[in-house]
Amino acid sequence: MDQNENSEMKRGSLIVFEGIDGTGKSTQLELLAVHLRASGYDVVTTKEPTEGEFGQRIRKLYLNRDEVTREEELDLFLCDRRDHVEHLIRPSLAEGKIILCDRYYLSTMAYQGAAGMNIDEIARKNNFAPEPDLALIFQLNPRQSIERITSNRGDRLNDFEQEDSLKKVERIFNSLSYPYICYIDADQTIEDVHHAVTAAVYTILNRPE
């Protein structure tokens, strides 16, 4: 989008929820959405992979990630994100809405980076995607996250949730230093995490234009 056009329109806020699986980020996204709507904000909730064509193909990889090469896997995420940006994220930002997105390009950097892809190259290939106003990265020991997935949720681990892989993913998330990142300690009660999330979010929403 042209920068002059961008400056002439009322821009919303893009808040993304990141972290390894089992950290409770999806629960926190929904809690924040309820809170912000009750406070009068116009909120859009969304996620990646999306429910679109490419997102559906990505979900099939949860059962067998070896069906594609790592390069093909990355391309699927990029195609899914391009559709997401074009059809939902940019239009919603232009309308001044607050977008809460469950996973975005930092997850691609972490998960595909853990699979052996170059993180800087992944970042470069995502330069079409609007930068978040805030990226909340939920931190939790991978063993605790797996316990939540298997015991609390009763789910089986998919191909993206194996412990060795999650440890690599966690290291990459912890190494990121973009100015819009806020790390959240996910090893707390749901209520305490929610308070930490809302505190971080209001520093963005109350920021002068």
| Backbone dihedral angles phi then psi of residue 18, each to the nearest 5 degrees | -130, 170
DSSP letter at 22 equals T
DSSP string, 133-178: SEEEEEE--HHHHHHIIIIIS-PPP-TT--HHHHHHHHHHHHH---
The side-by-side arrangement of strands in the sheet containing 43-47 is 43-47, 98-102, 13-19, 134-139, 181-185
Amino acid at 143: R
- Whether 88 has a pLDDT exceeding 50, the answer reads yes
**pLDDT of 138-189, one tens digit each?**
998 877 766 765 655 545 544 455 556 788 899 999 999 999 999 999 999 9
* CA count, 13 A, side-chain hemisphere, 3: 0
Q: Does the global pTM surpass 0.85? A: yes
**pLDDT of 89-104, one tens digit each?**
999 999 999 999 999 9
Q: Of 6-20, 94-108, 131-145, give the lowest mean pLDDT range.
A: 6-20
- Whether 196 has a pLDDT exceeding 70, the answer reads yes
- What's the number of domains the chain is made of? 1
State the CATH number of the domain containing residue 152.
Answer: 3.40.50.300
Question: What pLDDT was estimated at residue 208?
Answer: 62
Rounded mean pLDDT, 10-20 = 90
* Residues of the chain above pLDDT 90, percent: 68
Asked whether the beta carbons of 73 and 115 are under 8 A apart, the reply is yes
Residue position matching structure tokens 């390894």: 20
Q: How far is Cα of residue 141 from the mean position of the Cα atoms in its chain?
A: 18
Of 111, 95, 91, 93, the residue nearest 49 (C-alpha): 111
Q: 46 lies in which domain range?
A: 3-205
Q: Where does the pLDDT of residue 5 fall: very low under 50, low under 70, confident under 90, or very high at 90 and above?
A: very low
Question: What pLDDT was estimated at residue 183?
Answer: 97
Asked whether the beta carbons of 129 and 104 are under 8 A apart, the reply is yes
- Whether 8 has a pLDDT exceeding 80, the answer reads no
